[in-house]
Amino acid sequence: MKLSNTMKLSNTMKLSKTISPSKTTNLHKVLSAIIITLSATLTAYANSQEINIQWLGGPTMLIEFGDIYLLTDPMLGEGEEAYIMADPNENFDLATGPNVKTHRRLTPLPPVNLQQLDAALISHTHEDHFDQTARKELPKSLTMITHESDTQLIRGLGFTNHQSLAWGKQWHIRKGDFSVTIEAVPAFHTENPQFKSILGHGNGYWFEFEHNGWHKTAYWTGDSFLTASVLESLMTKSKPDIFVPHLGRVGTTGPLGQISMGADEVIEAIQRLQPRYTLPIHHSTYELYLEPVSELVKKAQEKELNVDVLAAGSWISYR
């Protein structure tokens, strides 16, 4: 940009002595158009070298990379009856099961264009990660990426493009010079082996973003703890550029015990994985989340660790 400004000034000084005012004005217009075009080109290039993430609340993110749009764990219901699910925080009898009830959303759902999506990634199909509204409103032709155990459910809902990913399997998308490779990694909803069969299977996801030699990685945990099996799968990879953990300490007041990470577990994960950035989600949006995100902020400050905490609807760009 410095070169462009210098070139504009020198040309104007030299030519204004020999060219009529009208021609000088035309020249100014041409040079201004060139500078505007160059500036727009440089801006577009800079924007192409970034991953844009909008946190829509709960476990739901809109990930934008070039013209690629990915939605995570779609939660689209709103109001007092945003979704229906058993309440793991209630002290229910394991023999009879939990109380299934409606759950309210505490923050508004930001606008989202479902027609522009290329894929929805689902960590697991509990209704607080894939709610009734999403099951109805997502386009049936949308690529749905889930753990392989969810094949029957996804097809039964009428989705025609299901990509089941077992741990270690990949899915790839390319648009122009932009590409994203997504690999399913182990996810464990509980650290108690007694309850693994009750809570079912799920995925975490490892992302590789590439554009003309530019490369970034991200790890989204889903509702998982950083168990020995998860760490083993991640140790074969580089340190993630972006780490997206789930918070909330869900279940700590119920018989299943803790079924999502809290501040302590996320701090430990940051120290072990050493990501460049940490973007915590799965907090604040629903009463289901028992621990406020402020607890993570406080403990991160004590450990001199950086975390990027967003308000629902906000965007963040990683370069």
pLDDT of 129 over the 50 cut: yes
Q: Give the residue among 281, 307, 319 at the shortest CA–CA distance from 71.
A: 281
pLDDT of 201 over the 80 cut: yes
Q: Give the residue among 181, 96, 189, 102 at the shortest CA–CA distance from 149.
A: 189
Mean pLDDT (whole number) for 255-263: 97
pLDDT of 290 over the 50 cut: yes
Evaluated on CA atoms 132, 222, 164, 242, the torsion sign reads: positive
pLDDT of residue 111: 97
| Predicted structure pTM score | 0.85
- Record the tokens describing residue 98, joined without a space: 């939990």
Helices (H), the chain: 2-15, 21-48, 132-137, 151-156, 196-199, 228-234, 263-273, 293-302
pLDDT of 6 over the 70 cut: no
Mean pLDDT (whole number) for 41-53: 65
Mean pLDDT (whole number) for 246-257: 97
Distance from chain centroid for Cα 36: 33
User: How far is 271 from 47, CA to CA, in rounded Å?
Assistant: 30
pLDDT of residue 32: 46
- Record the tokens describing residue 244, joined without a space: 């997206």
pLDDT of residue 85: 98
Q: What is the pLDDT confidence band of residue 97, given thresholds at 50, 70 and 90? A: confident
User: How far is 149 from 201, CA to CA, in rounded Å?
Assistant: 7
pLDDT of 26 over the 70 cut: no
Q: What is the pLDDT confidence band of residue 47, given thresholds at 50, 70 and 90? A: low
pLDDT of 2 over the 70 cut: no
Q: Give the residue among 288, 255, 253, 259 at the shortest CA–CA distance from 95.
A: 255
pLDDT of 12 over the 60 cut: no
On average, the pLDDT of the chain sits at 88
Is 286 buried (19+), middle (13-18) or exposed (0-12) by CB count in 10 A? Answer: buried
pLDDT of 28 over the 50 cut: no
Mean pLDDT (whole number) for 117-131: 98
